[in-house]
Structure 1
């Protein structure tokens, strides 16, 4: 997201959406974030929450002028695309102006309606030259994403339902009734301050003309709203001071937090994602509210509600609102019932870890376990009436079943590792098409997630959970030991020093990287663990940051293995790209330089979503993971590396170096991810500068630095 990022705040106490101030008025929270060419404005009050993004292309940007409104309720929104009337690309500038009545950039709209009120936001948009509205998309954020990231893909039925009519005498209303035949989205425009009347151009229902000047817009819909958690409600009492210390991050966290669920990010992922919410909860557990109505239970409940009753798979992404009705319609079903995407293989494993951390390791969780797990599911019709405890057991049964073959005597083979599902090219967090470079057996899942889930299942069983499987307190631990000790070997890559230098030289030449190869940093063999295995067991030789999962989730006990593993992690953090993962802009989540494969390297560039780019939450988990391992040296039962002065010093140096990078890039940390350019050093560049995929300006798991700090370890 860039050092370009600036923050403007106008903050009043953010109340729960069902709470009014003492005088009966609603107190709103507001936040403005700048990431050119995108300007983001947030407004939350007692009625609804809205994120408005204005795109005004500047020099060197080919982004389309656009007004986008995203609503957490129903994962819904509006995208209105404009072009200059003169047809000259890049000549149309847009900006929002303060209301002369309220003095605010955005004002809340709350109109009576049946069965739901019509809510949203209004504001004033200024066109620097005459403009044409060329395309409105109204309804689901998924439909907007399909257009912006899917090569202009539009659903014809949805677009054919868009209507444009006059609004008063000089304005226009664009509206669409959803596929449920009940919900409607409206976008109203009217001239202000003497601007020309809005002109609806005959012959094309999507064409509307605006003159130079300012126009009032109102974006509303009548979908049921959720119960937002205020900053005071999403944080525990001991962490309330963060509200004043970090207003940007805490308001952003509140915008993504609801009693029903926590949302992954905005604007593109403004809905439930199981992996995202559980990783966020694990990293932020020390500061999140516990107990009934708290953030931790909101995360766990949302996951349990969406489990696949047939096989225990945890839902990756929910399908709700207009998009759910559309998919049901395409199946010949007239229904608004929500659905779930179950293609991921990693999400299952986070659930028992989070449950163990809360229900076993905290007193509030222990006290709440019985009542919480007795709750009956209601979100998915097929789970209706099933207790949370039964749903949790389904997932644990799946994990125990699928991990048994590898844990059995003589079962430590590639065939018994966890593979992507048949027919799927993705299955864990690197879920872009090329994120695993064609690999089928992910490194993170097999070496970290499976054993950590098994350890958690054993602890839960010992605490009285899963009474139908009391043997799991021993069996799950036995399985976990085998997975901990016997999986790394499949993914290990060793490159001799001379070969490593040659590969680095070749990579710099083939990739046209403008910086040095840093081959002089290589004084010994290079070791790392590849992203994945192919179906034949060959390692995908891409260095990566996924070591963080094992460091954060496990305290392994094979001392020789642990020492070597920590050593290679530290080496790869300390070496500068392309020799390692380090750069001035952070740790790159992937480095293909040692692969010796130009075709793989071409899919891991600084313009690729999971390429040589930086992800905030991976920095956070690596920092938390190294801190966890170093903290073991304070305990009575110290691992061997603690008594190896050189190794402990190297790991500590890597940890401190990582924090130097984190602090140097503090402006970017709350965004989803970012890229770079090389000009006498690495310089931050917004990912959107290189890709048509926009990164979210606020991502749930990128707010975890609220809880992750540089520890004196």
Structure 2
């Protein structure tokens, strides 16, 4: 991802407003916009208590949430709005999770430049609407007394706020240059280089009368409207959308004074201050879904049972359990709309293909059939022409940033190569640039990820294979257009994806050597892009071929292809008709062969099911001890002493270890990072069927699961915390260093996604083994069933004890007193992957465990 930089542009004072051609224009255009709103914009609206708030008494540890608090609301159109306060940084951020993924943020410092601690001063918020603007109003109080200064105003895309904090910009002095995506001033510079008639045309497309007027949109404009009233306004670079942040001092004698990109609040000595915040946006709205739209009847039966039990005398533990369940249901509502399931709040309030599809698979036991249609339909709507799945969309300001980069390349090529040579090539570049500048907010798509291309067939096969969905409904769904400006039906787009899968997996079918596996893309610097869910720089240890992609998703995608063909026949699509539909797709011959010859597809499936053998790492006890000893010697003294003591007590390093490496290097050799990715295989696989058919050894799956119950740093499990997402003890020191710098997918983190996949995969297969009736089969499965139960209960206890199981990810600290769970600083408060815990609770309620759950 390309990040914004610190751009050395000074703050500008606003000029007088201008209105041209009925549109807002000019450097002071935002003032016209504010004057249209008028002072009355702050009038009271409908009062609303928070939908959710963190931390919540009885559910969340105050220590873990120290210096952080957040609330969630619904605006007048029922878009999700999140407000969070980082008290140790004095930063307040408002996420507007609408169709533009907007945010409004600011920081508060005292006279010494230290953060001012802020607290809620109102129980809820007032929501309203003024013309096109949706508003939300609430109050804050400061623990310190004035004077203090408001600065680092950042209004735009939530992606900007995300980058700003990733770069630690929110902790830098207010005097530092403002945060501006570099593509924006570059676009303005490129417009100024165009010939005058073309420049005028492009400025008009951006609703700007001049280049100076466009420059004024680079920064939020700050206006002190009175002693106790400040408004900050931001117009989008294309002039189409507006954000407003209004500060009102509520204390007698308090007064704002303007500064350079800041405002300072003064008040009589020693007087505490409250102030009112109002935010306003004219961004596009989403269409929210309710719990009844999301969850099926079976889930609501379970939900009502818990609610009823929680109301009985002496049911305090159940009441807490139900409150958490209720909170998760509300969280799912906050993320869900007809357009998409957002990945997480606050940082990922938009479409992520992988997150939606994985969550649909994990939550399928509790979702209504319509939810699978929402997911599959959303993914197909964004499919690339060659069948690749979009990983992430860019909206609003982020779309402008990415489209501006395209515009800049086109204009730079025109100016440097063709400005003095008119002709077809110059005309073509200008025409392309014109199309971009007139659609600067057109949604952008990121197709760099690899795993999601193979997840789509699996989810589609689940949908088409459901017996509770009538054939007529499935046909109607497939016959509908994939989306606006997307020629072709959903069925045609699904075939495009299957065609892509068939093409990229064929080299390994023809010659099953490791270097013919599905590869990550190579970056310009020569490294391999981490193109699956461990998408940090260190996530796959620098590997080229990911285990989860090649050993799990590709074989399942080919199996799903087979299931889809059969399901399509059953609902009225004969193979001959599908072959005809394929004829328009480039390189369709492989998929056509699979359609016409099922044995050819089965051969491909069989070949790919053996791909996992390339990733197997088997270590005798002697090597386990040696590797772990080397890693411990590298750790700081406190950590080294603790882990050594633990190993002496547990003797965990005295047994051999077998696991699947996280990836292979470019020569096809395993990079021996132990990891949790087997949990995805557990969810998708019917383990008892594999064992009873002879395709899987019971001893092998028991060996693999040992990783999840042997204590870290030998295995993955940390008591009171949970299973770490990776263990690099068996890898090189270079990888240890990489994980120390980039901890996102390192042995320092526990991922809620992996925890819930583990619980769902184990529970599903435990349930399947419990249903086996034939005595000989039961005996064959007995050691596996015992292992699955033991691993499940150990990990349940550890995760429950952490107090952080509802988080996207969490971490831990090693102290002289042992290991303590810790909140990960940039975790999402409401995260789609973590809400799959609802499915975990539902599935666990059907199992008989030693530590029985409600």
Displacement of 1:365 in angstroms is 6.1
Residue equivalent to 1:260: 339
Say whether 1:534 aligns with 2:665: yes
Displacement of 1:232 in angstroms is 2.5
Residue equivalent to 2:236: 178
Are residues 592 and 219 of structure 1, via their aligned partners in 2, closer, same or farther at CA, if it must alter by over 3 Å? same
Residue equivalent to 2:521: 421
Is 2:231–2:245's contact at 8 Å kept on the other side of the alignment? yes
Say whether 1:199 aligns with 2:257: yes
Residue equivalent to 2:275: 215
SS in 1 for 2:274: strand
Distance between the aligned counterparts of 1:297 and 1:195, measured in 2? 58
Say whether 1:400 aligns with 2:475: no
Kindly provide the CA deviation profile for residues 329-362 of structure 1, in whole angstroms up to 9, marking residues without a partner as x.
2322211211100000000111111111122124
Distance between the aligned counterparts of 1:555 and 1:226, measured in 2? 38
Are residues 195 and 274 of structure 1, via their aligned partners in 2, closer, same or farther at CA, if it must alter by over 3 Å? farther
Kindly provide the CA deviation profile for residues 428-461 of structure 1, in whole angstroms up to 9, marking residues without a partner as x.
0000111111011001111111111111111110
Residue equivalent to 1:67: 92
Kindly provide the CA deviation profile for residues 602-644 of structure 1, in whole angstroms up to 9, marking residues without a partner as x.
3335970101110011011112112333344334699979605
Displacement of 1:502 in angstroms is 1.9
Residue equivalent to 1:77: 103
Compare the two structures and name the one with the higher helix fraction.
2
Distance between the aligned counterparts of 1:132 and 1:300, measured in 2? 48
Kindly provide the CA deviation profile for residues 280-314 of structure 1, in whole angstroms up to 9, marking residues without a partner as x.
111111222223xxx322211111111101x1100
TM-score (norm 1): 0.87
Work out which of the residue numbers 632, 653, 672 in structure 2 matches 1:508: 632
Residue equivalent to 1:93: 117
Say whether 1:278 aligns with 2:357: yes
Are residues 546 and 327 of structure 1, via their aligned partners in 2, closer, same or farther at CA, if it must alter by over 3 Å? same
Q: How does 1:464-613 map to 2 (within 5 A)?
A: 464=568, 467-468=578-579, 469=592, 470-471=595-596, 473-484=598-609, 486-512=610-636, 513-514=639-640, 515-517=642-644, 518=647, 520-555=651-686, 557=690, 559=694, 561-584=696-719, 585-595=721-731, 597-605=732-740, 608-612=743-747, 613=749
Residue equivalent to 1:19: none
Residue equivalent to 2:387: 312
Alignment RMSD (CA, Å): 2.5
Residue equivalent to 2:291: 231
SS in 2 for 1:370: helix
Are residues 641 and 606 of structure 1, via their aligned partners in 2, closer, same or farther at CA, if it must alter by over 3 Å? farther
Residue equivalent to 1:695: 827
Displacement of 1:706 in angstroms is 0.5
Distance between the aligned counterparts of 1:565 and 1:221, measured in 2? 57
Distance between the aligned counterparts of 2:328 and 2:716, measured in 1? 27
Distance between the aligned counterparts of 1:81 and 1:483, measured in 2? 53
Is 1:118–1:221's contact at 8 Å kept on the other side of the alignment? yes
Displacement of 1:538 in angstroms is 1.9
Distance between the aligned counterparts of 1:181 and 1:444, measured in 2? 44
SS in 2 for 1:670: coil
Distance between the aligned counterparts of 2:617 and 2:628, measured in 1? 15
Are residues 171 and 532 of structure 1, via their aligned partners in 2, closer, same or farther at CA, if it must alter by over 3 Å? same
Are residues 250 and 662 of structure 1, via their aligned partners in 2, closer, same or farther at CA, if it must alter by over 3 Å? same
Is 2:479–2:489's contact at 8 Å kept on the other side of the alignment? yes
Is 1:358–1:366's contact at 8 Å kept on the other side of the alignment? no
Are residues 30 and 645 of structure 1, via their aligned partners in 2, closer, same or farther at CA, if it must alter by over 3 Å? closer
Distance between the aligned counterparts of 1:507 and 1:425, measured in 2? 26
More displaced, 530-539 or 500-509?
500-509
SS in 1 for 2:94: strand
Are residues 326 and 367 of structure 1, via their aligned partners in 2, closer, same or farther at CA, if it must alter by over 3 Å? same
Are residues 472 and 251 of structure 1, via their aligned partners in 2, closer, same or farther at CA, if it must alter by over 3 Å? farther
Distance between the aligned counterparts of 2:337 and 2:545, measured in 1? 35
Residue equivalent to 1:139: 156
Residue equivalent to 1:36: 66
Residue equivalent to 2:492: 390
Are residues 173 and 591 of structure 1, via their aligned partners in 2, closer, same or farther at CA, if it must alter by over 3 Å? same
Is 1:492–1:530's contact at 8 Å kept on the other side of the alignment? yes
Residue equivalent to 2:823: 686
Displacement of 1:148 in angstroms is 1.1
Are residues 366 and 564 of structure 1, via their aligned partners in 2, closer, same or farther at CA, if it must alter by over 3 Å? farther
SS in 1 for 2:475: helix
SS in 1 for 2:336: coil
Say whether 1:453 aligns with 2:557: yes
SS in 2 for 1:434: coil
Is 1:606–1:675's contact at 8 Å kept on the other side of the alignment? no
Are residues 193 and 362 of structure 1, via their aligned partners in 2, closer, same or farther at CA, if it must alter by over 3 Å? farther
Are residues 247 and 635 of structure 1, via their aligned partners in 2, closer, same or farther at CA, if it must alter by over 3 Å? same
More displaced, 118-127 or 453-462?
118-127
Are residues 493 and 706 of structure 1, via their aligned partners in 2, closer, same or farther at CA, if it must alter by over 3 Å? same
Greater than 4 Å deviation, 4+ residue runs: 24-29, 156-159, 636-642
Kindly provide the CA deviation profile for residues 111-145 of structure 1, in whole angstroms up to 9, marking residues without a partner as x.
22xxxx21142111112233212211111011111
Residue equivalent to 1:444: 548
Say whether 1:668 aligns with 2:766: no
Kindly provide the CA deviation profile for residues 393-426 of structure 1, in whole angstroms up to 9, marking residues without a partner as x.
1111111121222223xx2101211110232521
Work out which of the residue numbers 461, 464, 468 in structure 2 matches 1:363: 468
Kindly provide the CA deviation profile for residues 475-512 of structure 1, in whole angstroms up to 9, marking residues without a partner as x.
4343222212x112211111121121122122112122
Residue equivalent to 1:53: 84
Kindly provide the CA deviation profile for residues 170-201 of structure 1, in whole angstroms up to 9, marking residues without a partner as x.
21101100123111000000111426122222
Are residues 186 and 155 of structure 1, via their aligned partners in 2, closer, same or farther at CA, if it must alter by over 3 Å? same
Kindly provide the CA deviation profile for residues 69-127 of structure 1, in whole angstroms up to 9, marking residues without a partner as x.
0111111111212222222x35x2111111xxxxx322213222xxxx21142111112
SS in 2 for 1:283: helix
Is 2:346–2:828's contact at 8 Å kept on the other side of the alignment? yes
Q: How does 1:347-358 map to 2 (within 5 A)?
A: 347-358=452-463
Residue equivalent to 1:301: 377
Is 2:46–2:128's contact at 8 Å kept on the other side of the alignment? no
SS in 2 for 1:43: strand
Are residues 210 and 481 of structure 1, via their aligned partners in 2, closer, same or farther at CA, if it must alter by over 3 Å? farther
SS in 2 for 1:575: coil
Distance between the aligned counterparts of 2:602 and 2:797, measured in 1? 37
Is 2:454–2:501's contact at 8 Å kept on the other side of the alignment? yes
Work out which of the residue numbers 129, 136, 140 in structure 2 matches 1:110: 129
More displaced, 514-523 or 263-272?
514-523
Q: Please, which runs of 5 or more residues in structure 2 have no aligned partner? A: 1-44, 56-64, 170-178, 186-216, 308-321, 408-435, 580-591, 850-854
Are residues 27 and 686 of structure 1, via their aligned partners in 2, closer, same or farther at CA, if it must alter by over 3 Å? closer
Larger radius of gyration: 2
SS in 2 for 1:406: helix
